[in-house]
Structure 1
């Protein structure tokens, strides 16, 4: 493969990663809407269980396509740790979606990139340059503009949402570690299989059988959650966690628009401004990473020493 072809291949993988992350953001925004709809009848913990149960149902075709051999792994301990942290993050996140305005709950979750960037540098050895640090900081400012902390005060539910964001950052790093040796579909299957029994335990303490349309909402939450997870793992397989996580900020305007349309939750000028800042940050991150990927391939062809940055 010549230098130009290698450069194009690297950029193609990068843009695929970006596209998968955008699709993931749309799926998770739709899942948040389903959670809110189901919360009229069910507790957040029970919704989390049904999201995972139906998510497993929708993941069965993956198992049929690949066969049980895809579940063979020597990383079960990593899956268990990742899933325990993930279920805690999910329970906190679902609680926030139910008890906070939808756009606010989602935007608070996007303090995650700050933690992901730090963890990616410390534990994955990813190189994060000044411009990307600046873009991440800009995206975080956009989240703060939407949140306007202090304007209405932080309550206990806000801290629960923040806890979900911190735990989500740990999950993102664990996914990246697993994706080095594990297939994306294997990660989805193992995660879904483990999440069902893990989420059942807290759900039993608040159990109430759903009825009518609530069954549709929890089933749809499972579908959108599984689809979002599949897109997310494929994105992280192709790109740096610290680069891709800020792109998932697009879930914010998606969720805000759906909340306005379905629940009459207003989209304020602050929300629009914050979303605009986030979009600018995301666009720059994707553009910058495309340049870096192209230059890295070119430098590697010229001299191995240029990779030691």
Structure 2
């Protein structure tokens, strides 16, 4: 049952972004040593076990939670998310946490841009202007023409596009299914899909790295649990702007642990993207009112 405790919801969202940033840092370390698909597969095994246990403890058990009138949509959502996670972790290994997250912060603007063709929602001119500013921010970060353009810089933008589409399809699924049902299918469909290909990329892992793998699984499940509690505590429009704290935490982690640097171009571009994103969320909240 959802309450309307804004202070608690905001606190939970900030905690969620911290856990997800830690998860991304662990993912970057493991993916620099082992195959990305193998890392995601093991993570999804734990994720699937988590959603099964969560569903079994709910009203009606697993059967009631899994019941859906739109299985194709739910399965596609699950496939899209697991693919997006693979692409984003690849971005970490190519660009690092800071630049990857700076570009990925574009996803709320992509959601706004795609909400018309995907959901039939009206996007006003003010939000289109904000979306345009967001793309300018991406160009500032990538700086085509001012430096040798690296194609891998587009990888986090592809991940942002995939995650935006996943978010829109989640909205579409919510018209007929509960959040618990969508969460169940996200974990199960993703786990089945990645398990079909993951064993072909298996690599032996050292004992110490298995501890990091276990921590990755715990932070993944814990972050999703915190996110569920966040949306139970307060409305999405209240807490969503604070999701940008993940960029702050990821930047700090990149500098402190991975010795990355935050150049003025990336900082300025990220600030523009985040400002445009927050404005878009604000306009969407006004429209709903």
Query: Shorter-chain TM-score category?
Result: 0.7 to 0.9
Q: Which residue of 2 aligns with 1:193?
A: 188
Within-5 A mapping of 1:1-309: 12=4, 25-66=17-58, 67-68=61-62, 69-229=64-224, 231=227, 248-293=243-288, 296=289
Q: What's the offset of the Cα at 1:80?
A: 1.5
Measured after TM superposition, the shift of residue 97 of structure 1 is 1.5
The answer to which of 170-179 and 116-125 deviates more is 116-125
What is the Cα deviation at residue 250 of structure 1? 4.0
Unaligned runs of 5+ in 1: 1-10, 297-309
Q: 1:23 and 1:212, CA in 2 relative to 1: closer, same or farther beyond 3 A?
A: same
Which one is further off, 283-292 or 45-54? Answer: 283-292
Once the two structures are overlaid, the 10-residue window that deviates more, 243-252 or 258-267, is 243-252
- Answer yes or no: is the 8 Å Cα contact 1:139–1:246 preserved in 2: no
Spell out structure 1 runs of 4+ moving beyond 6 A. 13-21, 243-247
Task: Assess, with a 3 A threshold, how the Cα gap between structure 1 residues 154 and 201 changes in structure 2: closer, same or farther.
Answer: farther
Superposition TM-score, scaled by structure 2 size: 0.80
Change (3 A) 1:137 1:180: same
Structure 2 unaligned regions, length at least 5 = none
How much has 1:81 moved relative to structure 2? 1.6
Q: RMSD over aligned Cα, in angstroms? A: 3.5
| Secondary structure of the structure 2 residue equivalent to 1:39 | helix
Q: Is the 8 A contact 1:97 1:105 kept in 2?
A: yes
Query: CA deviation digits over 1:189-233, x for unaligned, max 9?
Result: 211111112112332222113222322322333333344445289
**Between Structure 1 and Structure 2, how many residues are aligned?**
283
CA distance in 2, matches of 1:244, 1:141: 25
Q: 1:286 and 1:77, CA in 2 relative to 1: closer, same or farther beyond 3 A?
A: closer
Find the structure with the greater CA-based Rg: 1
